[in-house]
Amino acid sequence: MGRRYVILDVFADRSYAGNPLAVVLDTEGLDAAGMQTIAREFNLSETVFLLPAEGDGRKARLRIFMPHKELPFAGHPTVGAAVLLGLLTGVGSKEEGAFEVEETVGVISCRVRLANRTSGRASFTLPRLPEPAGEPPTVAQAAAALGISPDEIGFDGHAPSRFSAGNPFTFVPVKSADAVARVAANGVLWPEAFGDDRNSAVFVYTRETVDSANTYHARMLEPAITEDPATGSAAAAFAGVVMAFDAPGDGPHAVRIEQGYEMGRPSLIELGLEILGGALASATVGGGAVVVAEGTLLS
């Protein structure tokens, strides 16, 4: 049977930027092995499969696959799928609309505002707030695995850390955008610094940005996919970094993370924080998404 699919560029407001996402609409009869096969065929960082929701009133159940494994949660698939669901159902066409989707990590609340018939913006509330995810590498280990000097790591009290809001990441602060651009994964030293499994993703970040309106400039490297142009689940976990090292005061805060520039796919992830009593009460991740292609899988 034919299976309809849509390709979107996520965390971007124009085509051929941001992070590409495949969304498969016709999923009847597909098991996990079949979904994994299709995800390998697309060979994008993630592919989403839309299934009927199990709970009343929810828009859909999302299963998210990288080419090599299924994920319990991911940010750019959630944003892209939310915009597409808005486009398919009309939610968000006249004013911002809200609905819930289901992922393995839990029920996720989304908000959508459409710009036109092929694009819009979406945000979601983190279903799980970030928490520490184990001991980070030493500065020397991180520097060696990333191909930069130890004295290029750290700024304003920021040090390597590990957090997870569903997917674990190692966060490495770097003093300059130049150092971020020179980062290159050393496959031999990577396991010692960041782990030897397929959850050894590293988010390198600096305060030096291309756009002065943004807060941080970042790259995400992971052995299985080499580099990712925009990583929503890393931005979700990055809320833990902000809380640990920036100590924002009570009230709302907006953190704008630019990513993908070194890959020629500039992206913008908007991280919203709500601080209450010095603690993170809630957080959102959002951005734009644009439909770039539609088609049918023939089998």
Structure tokens at 198: 């397929």
Q: Which residues are 218's β-sheet partners?
A: 205, 259
The Cα–Cα gap between 63 and 183 comes to 32
C-alpha torsion 165→13→248→210, nearest 10 = 110
CB 131 within 8 A of CB 77: no
Structure tokens at 184: 């290159």
Closest alpha carbon to 101 in 116, 119, 114, 82:
82
Closest alpha carbon to 146 in 115, 119, 181, 117:
181
Q: Which residues are catalytic?
A: 46
Residues 6+ apart with CB under 8 A from 234: 75, 167, 169, 201, 203, 218, 220
